[in-house]
Amino acid sequence: MQTDSSFTFVLFGGTGDLSMRKILPALFEAHRAGGMLADSGKIVAVARHAANRDEYLQWVNEHVKPHVSKDGLDEAAWTSFLERIEFVKIDLGNPEDFVQLRDAIKHLPGIRVFYLATGPSLFVPICHALASVGLNENARIVLEKPLGYDLKSSNAINDAVGEIFAEEQIYRIDHYLGKEPVQNLLALRFGNALFEPLWRREWVESIQITIAEELGVEARGDFYDNTGALRDMVQNHLLQLLSIVAMEPPHSMDSDSVRDEKLRVLRALKPIDPNEIGKVAVRGQYHAGGIRGSTVPGYATEAGVKPDSTTETFVALKVEIENWRWAGVPFFLRTGKRLADRVAEIVVNFRAVPHSALGASALRAGANRLVIRLQPNETIRLYCLAKQPGEGMNLASVHLDLAFDKFFREGQMEAYQRLLLDVIRGRLALFVRRDEQEAAWRWVEPILNEWKVSTKPPKPYAAGTWGPAAASAMLAQHGTCWLEEEN
């Protein structure tokens, strides 16, 4: 493969929501920054909902501009960015149309990146059509989630794509791995002598990983009702974050070294006993409620959702890792829609001191904790105890704060921007390897299968709350609580 910086970025689903909200804004930010994208680099949008390039650029002006950074739109940069964009109108269901795509890009230089911002049902047909016109060479292909519905369907897609593209050409994207605090978690652990000795069962009491959303299913009711939170969020995002938190130090930061260590974590997950699922897994579904002063409908009345749907919109899990570093430490994973706040964070609760010469207040909650906030405000906070000013030894919880926007003058790079640049430059470390994906599906499947045949409906929770009470009860059995409950 070529290693120079020239590229042709072919965007399938070029008029879709993901392209408008994430992919094109990320490419624009890289373009505006200067020096990140080769001047010769081209973006070729593929869709059938525009008649020609002029109509497509009008669509881009209307739908992408609202999603670029808030510090003002540089019109000169925007105009030069649009000059990078070409458009090819083809029907993805007609392989013969791919001849037009081949002819449109055959003269363009550099590595070819094919980004499949489409439904997974189109992944295999697109790959076959690319191969039929010889476009699978000197190329990289990016696959969005969901990659399959279960282990069998995931393997079927991977088998088919793997017949056309080599594993090192395939980039299975998980945008949470591109977030700045996740990168800083690696720096924090493996660049500082302070944390590594404490990052183990002897000093860590429990770990929480939460991805919470205020939004409901919006216009995705049809898709979501056949997917659910376990497939949509746990099998990929949450398990990937868990593997980053729990992995052993790699011998280097090259792609296979990092992914080998993540895979070892996924393979060490304690298998789920179907008879114990009720004790370690909570599924819920939101009902009508209030969020920030507005009343929102329940899931079953959302457009595209079956009125008697048992699809889960909330999942909480207790996970254990069977290895020497983490044996006995519970990892609590949680995700849901229509929750009280939009937040993604990792909470590492260290053990309290074994004996306090300073009194009971030295054993108080709110200290000995590391909180890594992924969104909306990306920060890392280390909570500890300090003496309050004045008479007596009165302790208070304080924190050391790494707020990226205050500490670093350079603007932060959005997750998609980082990941797209990594694809162009051939860096695989932040993308999911096939064996990682298989291990995650294999661990999740017993829960999927049990919920599929269960006669018990998901536990209800009101929109605007933090989910079913059963999720809190699960943590209470281990003498702890979710972070927001403590506060």
Task: Supply the CATH number for residue 227's domain.
Answer: 3.30.360.10
Q: 367 in a domain, yes or no?
A: yes
Range of the domain at 220: 177-412+433-486
Judgement on whether residues 224 and 112 belong to the same structural domain of the protein = no
116 known member of a binding site: no
The residues assigned a catalytic role are 237
374 known member of a binding site: no
For the segment 235-269, what is each residue's pLDDT rounded down to a tens digit?
A: 999 999 999 999 999 998 888 999 999 999 999 99
Cα gap 285→461, rounded to integer Å: 6
48 known member of a binding site: yes
Q: 424 in a domain, yes or no?
A: no
Q: 163 in a domain, yes or no?
A: no
Cα gap 281→474, rounded to integer Å: 8
Judgement on whether residues 309 and 458 belong to the same structural domain of the protein = yes
Q: What is the pLDDT of residue 394?
A: 76
Judgement on whether residues 204 and 342 belong to the same structural domain of the protein = yes
Q: What is the pLDDT of residue 1?
A: 36
Judgement on whether residues 116 and 233 belong to the same structural domain of the protein = no
147 known member of a binding site: no
Give the mean pLDDT of 32-60. Answer: 92
Judgement on whether residues 134 and 268 belong to the same structural domain of the protein = no
Task: Give 2's pLDDT tier (boundaries 50, 70, 90).
Answer: very low
Judgement on whether residues 200 and 298 belong to the same structural domain of the protein = yes
Q: 257 in a domain, yes or no?
A: yes
Q: 208 in a domain, yes or no?
A: yes
Give the mean pLDDT of 34-45. Answer: 93
* Number of domains comprising the chain: 2
Judgement on whether residues 198 and 290 belong to the same structural domain of the protein = yes
- Indicate if the pLDDT at residue 287 is higher than 60: yes
Cα gap 344→378, rounded to integer Å: 9
- Indicate if the pLDDT at residue 409 is higher than 70: no
Judgement on whether residues 362 and 438 belong to the same structural domain of the protein = yes
Q: 453 in a domain, yes or no?
A: yes
Lowest mean pLDDT among 171-175, 191-195, 436-440: 191-195
Cα gap 44→67, rounded to integer Å: 20
Judgement on whether residues 348 and 395 belong to the same structural domain of the protein = yes
Is residue 117 a contact partner of residue 11, using CB atoms and an 8 Å limit? yes
373 known member of a binding site: no
Judgement on whether residues 186 and 140 belong to the same structural domain of the protein = no
Judgement on whether residues 221 and 82 belong to the same structural domain of the protein = no
For the segment 63-94, what is each residue's pLDDT rounded down to a tens digit?
A: 999 888 766 678 899 999 999 999 999 999 89
Cα gap 426→22, rounded to integer Å: 20
- Indicate if the pLDDT at residue 54 is higher than 90: yes
Q: What is the pLDDT of residue 120?
A: 87
Give the mean pLDDT of 117-143. Answer: 94
- Indicate if the pLDDT at residue 61 is higher than 80: yes
Domain boundary among 144, 165, 198: 144
Give the mean pLDDT of 162-176. Answer: 95
- Indicate if the pLDDT at residue 4 is higher than 70: no
232 known member of a binding site: yes
Radius of gyration over every alpha carbon of the chain, rounded to an integer in angstroms: 24
Q: Which DSSP string corresponds to 247-283? A: PPPPSSSSHHHHHHHHHHHHHHBPPPPGGGHHHHEEE
Domain boundary among 144, 168, 193: 144
Q: 171 in a domain, yes or no?
A: no
Q: 111 in a domain, yes or no?
A: yes
pTM value is 0.92
- Indicate if the pLDDT at residue 199 is higher than 70: yes
Specify the CATH number for the domain of residue 88.
Answer: 3.40.50.720
73 known member of a binding site: no
The angle formed by the CA atoms of residues 84, 86 and 87, to the nearest 5 degrees, is 155
